[in-house]
Amino acid sequence: MTLRPYNFRKPDRLAGALEQRLTSWLRAAGQMAGEKGSAFLPFRIEMTPRHLEIVPPTEALACLSDAMIGYRVALGNEPPSMLFVWPRPLALALVAGLMGETPTTLPEDRELSTVELSLCEYLMQGLPAVVLQETWTGKTPLKLTVSEHEPSPRWTRLFIQVEQVLQCIFTLRTSFGEQDWYWLAPYPTLYELINRAGEDENARATQETLRKLEALVRELPIEVSVELGTVELPLAQVADLAPGDLLILNQRVAEPLTVRVDKRAKFRGWPGRVGSRQSLQIESLCE
């Protein structure tokens, strides 16, 4: 057997539960993207997460080409810390869709005009940012804001102080083919985010389990008895008891009776009658 040293600066994969929660979230976002896209694009799109990996920023950025367009993304009220990166031809085709066109092939790569850049920013906010927000299951709502344009994503300095980024690669399928786009985010940020959502889910599951158990316990039958009184007799006298014999109990008429729940004294109350049935009015709890 060959032993291979473990590289802690580049883990092979995410922790199991974390990866499952993240993958489930991204799949849900991909499914919603098709529905959201139909609201402002004249053609159908499909989006699926293809690859997740924790890598150093330099390795993640090396996968990007110069023919890509990026936008910085802020989480909540924090400064931008994430990056959406699309191939420029894909961005051009989608922007054309926003203007009512239906491309059959990807356009040739070129720089986007000022108007196209504005439309691209609108598209990134309305498509990936929105579907990631709306499919988020954490207790605290997720807020992703697409902000400034990143002219050269490959050479960005956004991750200059980050040791690891989570590289999420999505495949976008349209009538003009398949294209991959990237979501890059600091690994510690997403780890904390997903982990907190997992804790929220566990707390909700625990509360739901407790609620069901409480409902079940409330439906369980339990014996409730009212003690009329007691008396101590010699065994010989008990053996001689017969119908019609009178026993004097140690229970005074002016004292409330003891109510036992599952054989334990729980209440005190007064006997009475409701219609043709005997009853008992609870007066107090037993100390």
Could you report the per-residue pLDDT of 115-142, keeping only the tens digit for each? 999 999 999 999 999 999 999 988 888 9
Lowest mean pLDDT among 24-33, 87-96, 252-261: 252-261
CA nearest 191: which of 158, 172, 155, 163?
A: 163
Estimate to the nearest angstrom the gap between the alpha carbon of 70 and the chain centroid: 28
Confidence at residue 14, expressed as pLDDT on a 0 to 100 scale: 55
pLDDT in tens, 194-241: 777 555 555 455 556 656 666 666 677 777 888 887 888 888 887 788
Q: What is the residue whose two structure tokens read 């040293």?
A: 5
**Domain-wise residue ranges, the chain:** 16-208, 223-238+247-285
Residue 4 has pLDDT above 70, yes or no: no
Query: Looking at residue 19, what DSSP letter applies?
Result: H
CA-to-CA separations, 220 to 138, 171, 253, in angstroms, rounded: 35, 53, 34
Residue 189 has pLDDT above 70, yes or no: yes
CA nearest 124: which of 78, 180, 183?
A: 183
Q: Which of 21-25, 97-101, 241-245, 247-251 has the highest mean pLDDT?
A: 97-101
Confidence at residue 232, expressed as pLDDT on a 0 to 100 scale: 82
Please state the CATH superfamily assignment of the domain spanning residues 16-208 in this structure.
Answer: CheC-like (3.40.1550.10)
Q: Which CATH architecture has domain 223-238+247-285?
A: Roll (2.30)
